[in-house]
Amino acid sequence: MEPAVTRTSPPLPDVSGLLDGIPGQRAPQQVTRPVEERPRVRLRRPPRIPAPFTLSYAAVLAVTSSVAAHADPALVHALHQGSSTDVAHLLTAPAQVLIASALWVAGGLLSPFTLGFLIVLTALERRIGGARTAVVFLLGHVLATLATEVPVGLAVLVGHLPDSSLHRLDYGISFGVAASVGSLAGLLRPWLRRPLLIAFGGMLLQDLIAFTDPLTNWGHLIALTIGIATWPWVRRWSRERPGGAARGVT
């Protein structure tokens, strides 16, 4: 006789709390699906401006040069005279005229110093940064201006020059550009540094020999020398910049 087999029925679901005769009380089981990860959207950084100081400064010079080219000549002369770094203005408002005089280009946008400004300051700013480029430019602009105007004031004081020399018209960016050329030369390889200094210095010497504006011509040479004197600083600044050593600064 075979033993009886007992079958176990599956456990009944929990129906506590449900009322009899009311269907559909049990909520359907929710199936949780894995949340699909959305692809991450990478935000593109805005393009980096290579030389913001130089380009901003060039935009200001473009505006002032346009005013000088199209405004009434009497107004332009008054603006230039008010921005002149002559002895009279340096004695009364030195800071204002030193800044205002650097907002004009002597000879307009067609001046050779305009092209030199764009090329030299852009190259210098990419190597040492905008703030330090501004320091080099202003150093040449201010010191070369004082080096040429102070002797004029002393000569008038002792009677070697007339009083009209105290109001000599003097404005423009050329001193700052000349100092920037001298400073940039210190960051170039010798095979490029020497031709640059020879070509630019030779041009300045020719202008001095021509004797058309000796004070300004001497100022250019002084500014170039000031730029050369900044080599220890600009070389250190260039090494501190990312990639400075890779540029081959010597």
* Res 109: pLDDT: 85
* Res 166: pLDDT: 93
* Res 241: pLDDT: 83
Tokens representing 208? 């001095």
* Predicted TM-score of the model (pTM): 0.79
Let me know: does 120 contact 50? Beta carbons within 8 Å.
no
Half-sphere exposure of 88 (CA within 13 A, CB side): 12
Q: ∠ CA 146-152-155 to the nearest 5 degrees?
A: 140
Point out the residues of the chain with pLDDT beneath 70: 1-49, 243-250
Residue 61 CA to residue 66 CA, distance in Å, equals 8
HEC profile of the chain: CCCCCCCCCCCCCCCCCCCCCCCCCCCCCCCCCCCCCCCCCCCCCCCCCCCHHHHHHHHHHHHHHHHHHHCCHHHHHHHHHHHCCCHHHHHHCHHHHHHHHHHCCCCHHHCHHHHHHHHHHHHHHHHHCHHHHHHHHHHHHHHHHHHHHHHHHHHHHCCCCCHHHHHCCCCCCHHHHHHHHHHHHCCCCHHHHHHHHHHHHHHHHHHHHHCCCHHHHHHHHHHHHHHHHCHHHHHHHHHHCCCCHHHCCC
